[in-house]
Structure 1
């Protein structure tokens, strides 16, 4: 009987000790939501379950990336933040605190903390990261345009923000071949080594991350290069007292200074010559000199010279005397000087005779 009583007393003491130990157990966070990835305008629920926290305040907080501080959102079952998009639910049975955010904005992204305050210097914390999908936005520190001299190297840079992290690709206008080869290049930096004039044009930096339509920036690449002069007709004939146009085509950037020279003398507009330049693009110019009412001394070699800061080049055109007027530009023009005016029909007849003589000469040889 005494033994049974002893066992009973021992059991009571153990039960009391266990009860005291349970009552003194520290609070713990038994569950916190995993990382959440949501679209702008969507809804998210962040869940935090806490055990043995009846006597301790439980808070939801959010970090503030601007100043690395945290902002309190709620305490226990009370919402502190005055924002209609936020709501808090508390399930007493499971001691679960659910923070709901509706109409998610970009600024809602960040780290949310579920925190139990045990004392002034003691707390337990668990966190969950909320990522908000954002379409790509190309950064201001990306290249906008560049001017480089032929033979130099250049780097085109493109950076973009957004979530998920955008991928950057490069293309050229009209899907032209890139200097790196192929029509697409994937990297934040496109490096062109030893630039050629053919590399000039518009390059597209495209940022995509699957959210929205992506973002694109046009980058103009201007290549400075020395003039390249071509002459479409190096030898031209024309009869005395008729006009003739001499032409040269110039490719250069920056646009060059263009002069026509004969016998070392720079020609200008006067009663004997008329010079015109026509820019077909930033780097292409057509230059024409019209020799007006040709005299004997105007036959000979003409030099078309183009110069810019990177160099110069010239092309040569020989004007020689022909018996029959060449059409154009002779057709329909009046003969200058003291001679009588020749009609269009007369010039056409002369041109036909000239062609027949040419064919007969070729047939005999």
Structure 2
């Protein structure tokens, strides 16, 4: 008899414990990860069982900073005052649905469904909402680079957005990259030994299929020693006329440019006029005008350019000719203080005189 009573008591305790276990709240379903565009809508479902006597809440939280979690709803009631959020409860399925419309970028994050059993005990399930965002190039990306020739160069480009953007590199006018080809893919563009021909504008392009992508212009400046080219190394001009001597200088940083004659540095005066014209940061055209040439001014002239990386020089020889060269000998010239007409006017006068003489001869011949 005692044995039977023990069996009955054990069976009752088992049934009670089973009933209690069946009534422990559970979360049977949570929406899987959601990816949405800005301005769209999303529904987040949380299905619970045996939670009639317990609070069920939706919370947005930061996985890194859990203390920054933000309660959104409690049971079927919203806590936050935001017209974009709404909550509905389906009694048949015991499902709490959190709806967000007109999704904004800051809506992205983790949403957690919680059943609060006690102050220190809760049942949870979570879903991540990802919001597609166009690329934005990060501030820690390279903006500009200055390097000396043959140094190694590294340009970096990083971008935020969702999906994670892909980075590619291009050059202005689709020029060939130092790495080869017109496009390089990756966050870091490395040039082992930079040359002056590598200078210019590089484009860092971030794309993820959302919007038009983002682009940053990165200027690469390469410092190099001067290089001089002389377009006309030998020139001729007549006495008492002007002549321009030219040198093209390529250098960075911009160099100091001088002109020499017989190892003496020339300056602006009644005999010489020096001018510099920068066509770009690296290019300078320099011109020496020899004014009203005298015998002693014929000979070899030297243009020099120097910066911190080195120096270079070019040579222009000026020789004497009988016939004036125009230009620049196209204006008024003077002989011993007496004014003379310009060569163009002289030419016209000579041609006109020859024409008159020829006409006069024809008239005389026709009479005889």
Using the size of structure 2 for normalisation, the TM-score is 0.87
**Contact 2:60 2:70 (8 Å CA) reproduced:** yes
**Contact 2:144 2:218 (8 Å CA) reproduced:** yes
User: 2:347 & 2:244 partners in 1: Cα distance?
Assistant: 19
User: 1:302 & 1:116 partners in 2: Cα distance?
Assistant: 93
User: 2:212 & 2:162 partners in 1: Cα distance?
Assistant: 13
**Contact 2:255 2:305 (8 Å CA) reproduced:** yes
SS in 2 for 1:260: strand
User: 1:59 & 1:303 partners in 2: Cα distance?
Assistant: 87
Q: Which residue of structure 2 lines up, in the alignment, with residue 160 of structure 1? A: 159
Moved more, 119-128 or 43-52: 119-128
Moved more, 132-141 or 13-22: 13-22
Q: C-alpha offsets along residues 12-41 of structure 1, whole Å, 9 cap, x if unaligned?
A: x97996576235422211111000001111
**Contact 1:293 1:336 (8 Å CA) reproduced:** no
User: 1:306 & 1:120 partners in 2: Cα distance?
Assistant: 81
Q: Which residue of structure 2 lines up, in the alignment, with residue 93 of structure 1? A: 92
Q: C-alpha offsets along residues 156-194 of structure 1, whole Å, 9 cap, x if unaligned?
A: 111111100011111111111111111111111111221
19 and 96 in structure 1: CA distance in 2 versus 1, 3 angstrom threshold: farther
Q: Which residue of structure 1 lines up, in the alignment, with residue 233 of structure 2? A: 234
**Contact 2:240 2:333 (8 Å CA) reproduced:** no
Q: Which runs of 5+ in 2 are unaligned?
A: 352-368
Q: Shift in Å at residue 337 of structure 1? A: 2.6
User: 1:235 & 1:96 partners in 2: Cα distance?
Assistant: 94
**Contact 1:331 1:347 (8 Å CA) reproduced:** no
Matches within 5 A, 1:121-140: 121-140=120-139
91 and 23 in structure 1: CA distance in 2 versus 1, 3 angstrom threshold: farther
Q: Shift in Å at residue 345 of structure 1? A: 4.2
Q: Shift in Å at residue 227 of structure 1? A: 0.7
**Contact 2:157 2:167 (8 Å CA) reproduced:** yes
Q: Which residue of structure 2 lines up, in the alignment, with residue 62 of structure 1? A: 60
213 and 202 in structure 1: CA distance in 2 versus 1, 3 angstrom threshold: same
**Contact 1:47 1:96 (8 Å CA) reproduced:** yes
SS in 1 for 2:245: strand
**Contact 1:56 1:118 (8 Å CA) reproduced:** yes
Matches within 5 A, 1:102-141: 102-141=101-140
1:83 maps onto 2:82 in alignment: yes
User: 1:68 & 1:20 partners in 2: Cα distance?
Assistant: 35
Using the size of structure 1 for normalisation, the TM-score is 0.88
138 and 48 in structure 1: CA distance in 2 versus 1, 3 angstrom threshold: same
Q: Shift in Å at residue 265 of structure 1? A: 0.5
Matched residues, number: 343
Matches within 5 A, 1:13-52: 18=15, 21-25=18-22, 26-52=24-50
Let me know the Cα RMSD of the aligned residues.
2.5
Matches within 5 A, 1:1-12: none
Q: C-alpha offsets along residues 209-244 of structure 1, whole Å, 9 cap, x if unaligned?
A: 111111111111111111110001111111111111
User: 2:66 & 2:335 partners in 1: Cα distance?
Assistant: 89
Q: Which residue of structure 2 lines up, in the alignment, with residue 285 of structure 1? A: 284
**Contact 1:332 1:347 (8 Å CA) reproduced:** no
